[in-house]
Each structure stands twice: as structure tokens, then as C-alpha cells.
Structure 1
Amino acid sequence: MKLDNTNQPEALPYEKLALLGIDRKKADKLPQEVKQNLVSGEVTPLMQVSINARNGDV
């Protein structure tokens, strides 16, 4: 199955990725295999992200 985000914008969980600091532009640049794994709920490579917690920790 080939994932094509231009025809299926809902395929990737853009809102959830944004919470991790990965905007739509960055998500669309992910390798095809990573996108397929994300959509199917499989394990993806580790990505370094910074998230601000409610207590101020990053």
C-alpha cells in the first residue's frame, strides 16, 4: 500500500504530531516507511522532541 498525503490529508495524525513539535511540513517530509507505520499504528523510529509539561519542565 502506498501512502500519498497529497490525496489523503487525514492519513497522518497531524494534530497529535503537532503536540510533539512535528508540524505538517515536517511530517510530510518523513520517509514513506515511517508514514506507513504511523498510519497503521506500528512502531516507528525514535524521534527527539521537546514537550513543555504543565509544571514547566521540558
Structure 2
Amino acid sequence: MKALYDKQKETIERVFTGAKKHSMRFTYFRGLSQVSKWVRLKFAAMNLKKYAIHHWSMGVYT
């Protein structure tokens, strides 16, 4: 179980830390549908950023 917990710290909690960096501590919207759209947009941006950084480190864009 300790190995699984250590893996969780590396993967799951990193997503929440990234979300806090992208202004997701609170929302300006009201209603489930509007907040859901906003969260999807934020996570899509985070995924694109992670994808670009990964490819950049591999030398794809040089």
C-alpha cells in the first residue's frame, strides 16, 4: 500500500496543484453546466501544455 500511496502523490496530487496554478481555487460562474464547461476548458489547456512540454523536451519542435 505504501508504494501505491507514493505513486498517488506523484500523479493525482500533481493535477490538483496544476489546477490551483491555473486559477481554479474558486469560480466566477454559477450553475453546474457553466462550471463544468469552464473546468473542461481549463483541463484541456493543462493537457495541451503538458503535451507541448513533453514534445519540446523530446526535441520534436527543434
**TM (normalized to structure 1)?**
0.26
TM-score, structure 2 as length reference = 0.25
**Rg: which structure is higher?**
2
> Which of 1 and 2 has higher RCO (CA within 8 Å, sep 6+)?
1
